[in-house]
Amino acid sequence: MLSGKKTVEALDRMEIMYPDARGELDYETPFQYLIAVILSAQATDVSVNKATPVLFEAYPTAEKLAAAPIESVMEKIKTIGLYRTKAKNIIKASQMLIDEFEGEVPKTIKEMMKLPGVGQKTANVVAGDLFGVPAIAVDTHLDRVSKRLRICKQSATVTEVEAALMKKIPKERWIQAHHTMILFGRYHCTARNPKCPDCPLLDLCAEGQKIMQKK
């Protein structure tokens, strides 16, 4: 298992590769970012960014989206996976923002998770990026990279992966680490054909060494 010291070393090397890592969703307001992150569940950022300009042009605020016809919202986001469920969730979330939070995105993870369509991962992402709340949101990329590097066990659940990362990475680096590791997993340590031969983390990566031995 990779130690805390080696985990930080691996993160340092990833940050050299992606020094300005940030989320790739497009938005103009905190409300729009919340909606974009909800829509990004089990979908690519690219697909969300293609749909949200039309959605936000028609319904730029919680008040507008809360009153939107479900059919209209579904039509605008139908290119995104699970669009029917997501349309219902973002309308209901907008209604709750108005009813319980004066139309503003709540600033705590606990409050945010009351919103329809907002689970732990979504709340962690939004709270970290908008309000600087220390959090690590584990998506498929972080899960894959963490297991390949043996930061956690191969059998670890999402919750266990999150706990391992939070234990081994200093708290003040959690938000940035989240974005750095996502880009590393999305563009370098890919699910298929990871770039092991050119990887600056190869000496730290048990899985990468196994892959290279097979070649």
- Structure confidence by residue, pLDDT tens digits, 144-175: 999 999 999 999 999 999 999 999 999 999 99
Predicted local distance difference test score (pLDDT) of residue 50: 97
**What's the pTM value of the predicted model, to 2 decimals?**
0.91
Tokens of 164: 């391992």
Locus of tokens 């590791």: 181
* Phi-psi label, residue 16: left if phi above 0, alpha if psi -120 to 50, beta otherwise: alpha
Is 139 labeled as catalytic in the residue annotation? yes
Three-state DSSP class for 59? coil
8 A C-beta contact, residue 98 and residue 63: yes
Predicted local distance difference test score (pLDDT) of residue 214: 84
Tokens of 134: 């220390």
Is 203 labeled as catalytic in the residue annotation? no
Choosing from 76, 86, 129, 139, which is the catalytic residue?
A: 139
Question: What digits encode the pLDDT tens for the residues 175-207?
Answer: 999 999 999 999 999 999 999 999 999 999 999
Does 152 count as an annotated binding residue?
no
8 A C-beta contact, residue 208 and residue 199: yes
8 A C-beta contact, residue 130 and residue 105: yes
Predicted local distance difference test score (pLDDT) of residue 215: 72
Does 189 count as an annotated binding residue?
yes
What is the average pLDDT across 107-112? 96
Question: What digits encode the pLDDT tens for the residues 74-89?
Answer: 999 999 999 999 999 9
Give the dihedral sign, CA 117/189/18/16: positive
